[in-house]
Amino acid sequence: MREKWLEKVEYVSQETNDITGEKHKIVVSNGQNGDLYISTCPESHNLGVTVRIERSGGASTRNPRLVQALTATYDAIAGNEDIYFNGIDASEEIKEELEQLSCDGVGYDYKTTIRELIDFYKANH
């Protein structure tokens, strides 16, 4: 279940190479525009230099696996348990359908999108 989505989430590193001894963190947030924003900064700061990852066009067309991985990073920090396929949220209904397709052996005779989706589901279920 998705516990968080538009909230800013943070992960504080347990080690530091900062001469001040301050730990650093990664800050990740989802914008209402659908884009992902990622920054790193000292633990005492709210934000640092921020990178915008475009989920429509931009990064999603140039490197969809990057978008998927960074979306999964957000969910890991947030404690969300949803699964994603190429950055697309798989609803409970889709999960049930994938389970049934997997049980029925669909997609195992040739390489198809549905086969890739089933394999992805199995790896993340």
Residue 55 pLDDT exceeds 90: no
pLDDT digits (tens, 9 = 90+) for 63-98: 888 888 888 888 888 887 665 554 556 666 666 766
pLDDT at 51: 94
Question: What separation in angstroms does the CA of 112 have from each of 5, 50, 107?
Answer: 31, 37, 6
Of the two residues 17 and 10, the one the predictor is more confident about is 10
Mean pLDDT, to the nearest integer, of 9-26?
Answer: 90
Of the two residues 72 and 39, the one the predictor is more confident about is 39
Domain extents for the chain? 1-82, 90-125
pLDDT digits (tens, 9 = 90+) for 105-125: 555 444 555 566 666 766 766
pTM of the model: 0.63
Distance CA 16, CA 52 (A): 25
